[in-house]
Structure 1
Amino acid sequence: MHNIDIAIIGAGTAGMGAYRAARKHTDRVVLIEGGPYGTTCARVGCMPSKLLIAAAEAAEAVREAPGFGVHSRAPRIDGAEVMDRVRRERDRFVGFVVDTVEGIDPSHRLRGCARFEDAHTLRLDSGEAIHAERIVIATGSVPVRPGIFDAVGDRLIVNDDVFGWSDLPEAVAVFGGGPIGLELAQSLHRLGVRVRLFGKGGGVGPLSDPAVRDVAAAAIGADLPFDPDADVQKITREGDTVVVRFTENGLAREERFDWLLAATGRAPALGGLNLAASGLTLDDRGAPEVDPLTMQAQGSHIFFAGDVAARIPLLHEAADDGRIAGDNAGRFPNLGTHDRRTPLGVVFTDPNIATVGASFSDLSDASCDFATGEVDFADQGRARVLRLNRGLLRIYGERGTGRLLGAEMVAPRGEHLAHLLAWAVQGGMDVETALEMPFYHPVIEEGLRSALRDLSVNLGRRIDNPPRCIDCGPGA
């Protein structure tokens, strides 16, 4: 029996953050991991997906070159070489994480899958037992596999599987219009794979603003076959082929693929923990209620962090969760309430999809008195120069104060616009102060200034920063 102050289950991003924070309070800490070391981000998430997207962007740049008067042959894509680089670079990123974990004092590390025996006792599958005064659960998430896909057997894959490919397939049906489905579908399509993307319920990534969502759906749909609310009648397996029968524009269709990629979300990885023995009250998902400002579960000595907390499944949020959970586990029962950063999410499609701060649905549901400013990138100067002129940015501001509340966008280089807006929102900036900031010419960020001007007008406020460029278009 190991008698310790804090046990942390899971050595991913959240678990490592919790470990570092807990060590500031006590040396009697143990980090438990039942699987391979290396975070979800490094192994099967952020990094390998961006490596695949980078290859797709290179191929697309060659295809787009004639639009600038630069002519070359169509790109020749070697799928084996693409996937070899993805795996090599992925393994390099994973190696950094593994080195970090293995650099931890061996007496603070245990290998094995943990299971609750009672509120303070954990039993590993190795047979070892741990009595912990406080426990942090940071076991991450697992892909959801809806029963409708059972018929395809081993032709069903999830995003985790893609990065194990040694070559690119001929055809893939991607189910799920969320961030993972959008990124993988577009990148595979641009790398020469025949792809059809099936969405459900009309959703496009994390967007809730109908105007932005429609523009995003059109932008993705112009690149590859995408139905945000697909009418799928049947999915079957014939030999090594996946057959999908669906309706398109009122007509029955059938299409065959090598694989069915389920990008239908992820769920907290709670299986095997035996949380029922922890003393926590569990909902119908088998999860407890968790306070996002303390990461404490129901006033108990148990804390949750990262994807398993079912908040925002992003790496920077998981790191913050871990830091908060570990700190509060260390200082328990005298908890600290931690402010959360302004929400920020980016989908690395082309154009980028991003959300910042309060969403359109958040503000509408709260009956907040807000106004909207927008810019259409069709005629924005720098976007047209780059032939990236498609997208829509909408910013939300509070009436009366002019304070920036949030934004949703599908925009060229939106990852950078989103960061600027997130900093402005977190800093409590109002629209006039934002318009006083410097904007270089010609840059994509001038489109942000156009949206801010529009917001200022719609808030009924005075504009002290009139356009300086008279010949570069409305978004200059």
Structure 2
Amino acid sequence: MKIVVIGGGPGGYVAALKAAILGADVTVVEKGKVGGTCLNVGCIPTKALIASSEALEIINKANKYGFNIEGEVKTDFDAIMNRKQKVVTQLVKGVEFLFESKGVKLVRGCAKLVSKNQIEVSKEDGNKEIIEADKIILATGSVPVVPRLFPYDGKKVITSDEVLSLEKIPQSMIIVGGGPIGCEIGQFFNTLGTKVQIVEMVDHLIPFEDEDVAKQLQRSFKKNKIKFNVKNGIAKVDIKDDKVQAVLQSGKELEAEIMLVCVGRRAYTEGLGLEELGIETERGRVIVNEKMETSIEGIYAIGDIVNSPALAHVGSKEGTVAVENALGKNKKMDYKAVPRCVFTDPEVASVGITEKEAKEQGIEYKIGKFDFRGLGKAKAMDKIEGFVKVVADMQGKIIGAVIIGAHATDLLGEFTLAVHLGLTTEQVGDVIHPHPTLSEAVMEAVHDVEKQSVHSV
């Protein structure tokens, strides 16, 4: 079985490796670097930068832990960016090594569908190659959206693609969009001394998350002098005297050295030949069934080009589902338990439905909650900010959960498993959780659903 995967991002490369493991003859067509947005200009580089800002935070409060660091702590931005790039480069090479070790062929160039079994690849040298395939998986990803209102030039008005390659720390920055990208990048540069102002149209930051969590994050931002304007939008943007000047819908005026626009991403399907082949789309995204198959039999689509949560781990899972179906199995994609992570400080992590969504869907529910300040481990770490919140139906089944606090993204796995398997608060609460750990907050929050937490006030 010959399978061609178009796109080498977290959806595409996982699909390719899975297909190779299952015995297929696999080719990946990629015009840029393998790893896609996530590895090259997304998840991984931002986490590398955040690791540097976290190190600076620890240094700045070293006296709390019994260390007296004398003298000024100097930031070497070049070193920070070089470290980030080194991490990215190592991981890109790692994916390429996995391709080689598992027999996945990598073809460089831009792909276009010629038929349901043929792909035309245009290479940098101008040559073209036709690749035959029994099955095709489309995984071409997405690119940042920049509305016409913004005079995007890649220098003063930039996207997440350019912000990760800045050559110096900007003195000031306006961030349009208070979602995960805006909050993560904003907090990173604020730690390095940039004056940050975030503009978000919804009435709170991280608009798709629990409102209690958003309020907690906003308190943290205020404490760290990160300014934000919620329930507001951009009315006008100009670049004058080497500054970006913005007028908000409220009439408020902002000025900064740089403006970062992160208001969403759109599917990247230009030149792919979808219309010519008759592959159905809706609002720019490819329509697929629960097996990830498009309207053309034998052609599958995954990741940011389909109408599903635009998350790397979702694309990876869709890739494995598509491959297994392409090879004759009967797998269905299930989005019931998709973990969502925001790598701010404190971190935010959630799965399932929020309390607000439960209300909107008319679901009768119960809430359990536990603050990290009640944990010995959190106090020992000096990380008492945040809480765990559980949403359960009236039979006790866990249907959603959110964590804000230290290592929230690492702690979420237990709740993701619970939502996926349909576990109850009693089942999760019966598990012995190690002491002293932050995971005890999960146990206590689950117990609190039935008001059985021994440590809740």
TM-score by length of 2: 0.89
Q: How far off is 1:179 after superposition?
A: 1.0
Q: Residues 99 and 21 of structure 1: is their aligned pair in 2 closer, same or farther, counting only changes over 3 Å?
A: closer
Residue of structure 2 in register with 1:263 after alignment: 262
Corresponding residue number in structure 2 for 1:19: 16
Correspondence for 1:253? 253
Bigger shift: 374-383 or 195-204? 374-383
Separation (CA, whole Å) in 2 of partners of 1:393 and 1:70:
31
Corresponding residue number in structure 2 for 1:369 = 364
> Is the 1:14–1:306 contact (alpha carbons within 8 Å) kept by the matching residues of 2?
yes
Displacement of 1:74 after TM fit? 5.2
Secondary structure class of the residue paired with 1:255: strand
Determine if the alignment matches structure 1 residue 280 to structure 2 residue 282.
no
What is the DSSP-based 3-state SS (H/G/I as helix, E as strand, rest coil) of the residue aligned with 2:60? helix
Indicate whether 1:191 and 2:192 are aligned. yes
1:450 aligns with 2:444: yes
Quick one: which amino acid aligns to residue 241 of structure 1?
Answer: K
Q: C-alpha displacement at 1:431, in angstroms?
A: 1.3
Q: Is the 8 A contact 2:176 2:259 kept in 1?
A: yes
What is the 5 A alignment of 1:158-237? Answer: 158-205=159-206, 207-223=208-224, 224-237=226-239
Paired residue for 2:130?
129
Alignment of 1:421-440 (within 5 A): 421-440=415-434
Q: State the partner residue of 1:111.
A: 108
Are the counterparts in 2 of residues 152 and 235 from structure 1 also a CA contact under 8 Å?
no
CA-CA distance at 1:340 after TM superposition = 5.8
Specify the SS of the correspondent of 1:406.
strand
Higher relative contact order (CA 8 A, sep 6+): 1
2: CA distance, partners of 1:153 / 1:415: 31
State the Cα distance separating 1:203 from its structure 2 match: 4.6
How many Å apart are 1:68 and its aligned residue? 5.5
- CA deviation digits over 1:85-144, x for unaligned, max 9? 2222222222222333355647x4332211233444432223223443422101111111
Cα distance in 2, alignment partners of residues 30 and 83 from structure 1: 33
Could you say what secondary structure the match of 2:151 adopts? helix
Assess, with a 3 A threshold, how the Cα gap between structure 1 residues 437 and 349 changes in structure 2: closer, same or farther.
Answer: same
State the Cα RMSD in Å.
2.8
Indicate yes or no: 2:342 matched with 1:347.
Answer: yes
Q: Partner of 1:306 in structure 2?
A: 303
Q: Does 1:406 align with 2:416?
A: no
Taking the TM superposition and a 5 Å limit, the aligned residue runs for 1:323-362 are 323-331=320-328, 335-337=330-332, 342-362=337-357
Matched residue SS, 1:342: coil
Counterpart in the other structure of 1:460: none
Structure 2 alignment gaps of length 5 or more: none
Cα displacement (A) at 1:24: 5.7
Choose from 233, 236, 246 the match for 1:244.
246
> SS in structure 1 opposite 2:285?
coil
Q: Paired residue for 2:58?
A: 61
Instruction: Tell me the amino acid that sits aligned with residue 286 of structure 2.
Output: P
User: Which residue identity does 1:89 align to in structure 2?
Assistant: V
Which segment drifts farther, 188-197 or 381-390?
A: 381-390
Match of 1:39 in 2: 36
> Which letter maps to 1:272?
G
CA distance in 1, matches of 2:229, 2:379: 27
Displacement, 1:215?
2.1
Please say if 1:393 is aligned against 2:391: no
Measure the CA separation in 2 of the matches of 1:325 and 1:298. 14
Instruction: Specify every segment of 5 or more residues in structure 1 that has no aligned partner in the other structure, as ranges.
Output: 458-462
**Secondary structure of 1:230's partner?**
coil
